Amino acid sequence: MFDQWSLTDVLAGVAGIFVVAYMGFELSRRQHRLRALFNVLDGADATLTRELSELVDSGALRPYSATAAS
């Protein structure tokens, strides 16, 4: 089976493997960059945000409204 492959076939296969590997690496890198950009709440901020949301849901606090503040 391998005797039917030419050098061009082997090089094309290796190049294809490198292209797929690079695409996977690039997708992973971009995904990590987007997560770092959009995940701005760390543990303490996330806890505070959750507790404030619970206070608004329970009615202890009113949500901010620009029209009501005027």
Q: What is the mean pLDDT of the chain?
A: 86
Contacts of 37-44 with CB under 8 Å at 24 or more apart are none
Cα separation, 17 vs 11, whole angstroms: 10
pLDDT of res. 1: 57
The confidence band for 57, taking pLDDT boundaries of 50, 70 and 90, is very high
Question: In this predicted model, what pLDDT tens digit does every residue of 27-49 receive, in sequence order?
Answer: 999 999 988 887 777 777 888 88
Contacts of 41 (CB under 8 A, 6+ apart): 49
pLDDT of res. 48: 87
pLDDT of res. 68: 58
pLDDT of res. 14: 96
Domain ranges of the chain: 8-60
